[in-house]
Amino acid sequence: MEDRLKEDIIASGRFGREPEHPVDAFEKLDPDKGVTRPTGSSANMKTRTYAVEKMKEAGLDVRVDAVGNIFGRKDGINPDAGAVMCGSHLDSVINGGQFDGALGVFSAIEAVRRLEDEGYKNMRPIEVVVFTGEEGSAFGITLLGSSTLIGKISYEEAFARRDPKGRTLQEALEYMEYKGDFFMDLDTVAYFVELHIEQGPVLFNEKIPVGIVENIAGIAWIYATIKGVGNHAGTTPMKMRRDALSAAADIVKYVEKRANEMVDRLGSATVGTVGKLNVYPNGTNIVPGRVELGIDIRDVVSENMESLKQDVSAALKDLEQKYGVSVDITIPTTHSPEPLFKEVIDVIEKSAREANIRSMRMNSGAGHDSQNIAKRVKTGMIFVPSVGGISHAPTEWTEWGDIENGVQVLTRTLRNLTQIPEGKVLENNDSVQGSV
């Protein structure tokens, strides 16, 4: 493979590791310590700055919008034609890997470099994009930058969100010097493509190098705070307790059991996870007085996701009677399941064929900015295999050969999409809606 992309991933993969160091092989990963670069952290800032440098070196005109989304434009022969946008995100989960998001950004830059090297003249403009806060690891909702871009949440709401340190997004962006004044009008964008690691086991197990996404699962988060009474663990009789953690334990098991029941009954792709639990005051000799839970619910079918969301909310409320606790529930913006566009899927499939790379169609269980952008722009996604199906963990890895396959398909996809004449009506303009 061209070493540039590998170099970019390894170099940017230093940021957010403790201590900062490059990792170029799976064997060199520390299974306990991954990459942590939540939005607004210095690691997030360094990764952004590295990417911007590479965008500028590739000749892109870089602009930053009010929520810190970064855009790098390569003009087209027809500068007024609808652009082809391509990219992903640079923030990470707590203790994640160097490929989730970053691969999509650096592959987009590499694709632009390869097209330039080939002397290819794109008819449509290309916009490389870095979305802010995809993971939700700092500001409490996933897909923050793209949600603002499509108007799903207002700029004011986005700016006012706070991270665990109490900083607003506005303050975090100012700290990173990534609060710009550019406005990207999505009406000037015709297509969007995001390359991403699969983050699941399908491609790896099937030994298929490229996945083409048909549907992206929806994500619903529920935050719950259970308040009981903190008290002495030795002196408070069992019958007189209002133990917030004991109540929370019911929910942890309920979410798992109910999601399993749905899978058994409906054959659905429903998943439910309690991924976050804060116990206060968190002392061995103290009956827990307060517990905060973060619950993640997903499905490619909206009704299933809603039904599990409602069941879990009801079960949370039932705790009040059962344990004498009080329960507060907050549900941040829910992202609905989203079908991607047949027209773009077909172009990606054709591009893989041209490159002699085997591909398969599949769904995405992970959330992506693509599901937001697909509400406004014809969108497609390219997946590459995750070793062992692991992601959102320090041992997340993708083989360099698979990355090369992915970027070849992406480069051809950009070439093919930028050639589609403005205004041409293709045979099937529809999304794959209904194929779920």
User: Among 68, 100, 106, which residue's Cα sits nearest to residue 87?
Assistant: 106
Q: How far is the CB of 158 from ligand GLV (least distance, A)?
A: 17
Q: Kindly state whether residue 135 participates in binding ligand GLV, applying the rule CB under 6 A.
A: yes
Q: Per residue, what are the HEC states of 102-113?
A: HHHHHHHHHHHH
User: Among 199, 196, 216, 208, which residue's Cα sits nearest to residue 359?
Assistant: 208
Burial of residue 129, with CB atoms counted within 10 A of its CB: 0-12 exposed, 13-18 middle, 19 or more buried? buried
Q: Kindly state whether residue 145 participates in binding ligand GLV, applying the rule CB under 6 A.
A: no
Q: Are strands 210-216 and 359-364 parallel, antiparallel or unpaired?
A: parallel
Q: Per residue, what are the HEC states of 154-176?
A: CHHHHHHCECCCCCEHHHHHHHH
Per-residue interface string for the shown chain with Mn ion, residues 99-138, x marking contact by CB under 5 A: -xx-------------------------------------
Q: How far is the CB of 367 from ligand GLV (least distance, A)?
A: 4
The dihedral of CA 85, 345, 366, 217: what is its sign?
Answer: positive
**Residues paired with 362 in a beta bridge:** 213
Instruction: Write the single-letter amino acid at 92.
Output: S
CA distance 178 to 67: 8
Q: How far is the CB of 127 from ligand GLV (least distance, A)?
A: 22
Residue 65 interface partner, choices Mn ion, ligand GLV, none, CB cut-off 5-8 Å depending on type: none
Q: How far is the CB of 224 from ligand GLV (least distance, A)?
A: 18
Q: Which two tokens stand for residue 167?
A: 């900083």
**Among residues 343 and 396, whose Cβ is nearest to ligand GLV?**
396
**Among residues 143 and 319, whose Cβ is nearest to Mn ion?**
143
Q: Kindly state whether residue 367 participates in binding ligand GLV, applying the rule CB under 6 A.
A: yes
Residue 367 interface partner, choices ligand GLV, Mn ion, none, CB cut-off 5-8 Å depending on type: ligand GLV
**Among residues 351 and 391, whose Cβ is nearest to ligand GLV?**
391
Residue partners of 207: CB distance under 8 A and separation at least 6: none
Piece of 92-100, 266-274, 320-328, 344-352 that binds Mn ion (CB under 5 A):
92-100
Q: Kindly state whether residue 142 participates in binding ligand GLV, applying the rule CB under 6 A.
A: yes
Q: Please identify which residue in 366, 373, 414, 417 interacts with ligand GLV, judged by CB under 6 A.
A: 366
Chain position carrying tokens 């900062």:
20
Largest CA-CA distance found in the chain, in angstroms, rounded: 78
Q: Which two tokens stand for residue 200?
A: 């699941």
**Among residues 142 and 307, whose Cβ is nearest to ligand GLV?**
142
Q: How far is the CB of 89 from ligand GLV (least distance, A)?
A: 8
Q: Kindly state whether residue 91 participates in binding ligand GLV, applying the rule CB under 6 A.
A: no
Q: Kindly state whether residue 343 participates in binding ligand GLV, applying the rule CB under 6 A.
A: no
Residue 402 interface partner, choices Mn ion, ligand GLV, none, CB cut-off 5-8 Å depending on type: none
DSSP tally for the chain: helices H, then strands E: 12, 15
**Among residues 219 and 247, whose Cβ is nearest to Mn ion?**
219
Instruction: Write the single-letter amino acid at 167.
Output: R
Binding residues for ligand GLV, rule: CB under 6 A, are 135, 142, 366-367
Binding residues for Mn ion, rule: CB under 5 A, are 100-101
